[in-house]
Structure 1
């Protein structure tokens, strides 16, 4: 199954912020969730604009993405 066809309605996302930022008004936060029924697959979205859509990653892709943006 394509991870982009999985319905994400009602899925709980958790906030990830750069550094020690955990406040609602911080600019460098994203939200992440497991893709239901797809072990090792994750969805990532903008915490300030969750309705804008989301990107979906395998574990390996997410690690590569994070390394590329300097969070690892």
Structure 2
């Protein structure tokens, strides 16, 4: 009976190890695929500050319009 218990523990331990290895392999594969499709764009500080300055700049609604009016 001791040998049977040991055999059951060994079988289930091997099964758990195989399932863990397969799970890790699938996780690594998914992470690599995600990294390839999403990219890692990191704008420079100059680009970040120029967009922030544009967003904070007040919009002047009284712009002078120059041109020709056809009557």
Which TM bucket (shorter chain)? under 0.3
Name the TM-score, length of structure 2 as normaliser. 0.20
- TM-score by length of structure 1 reads 0.20
Larger radius of gyration: 2
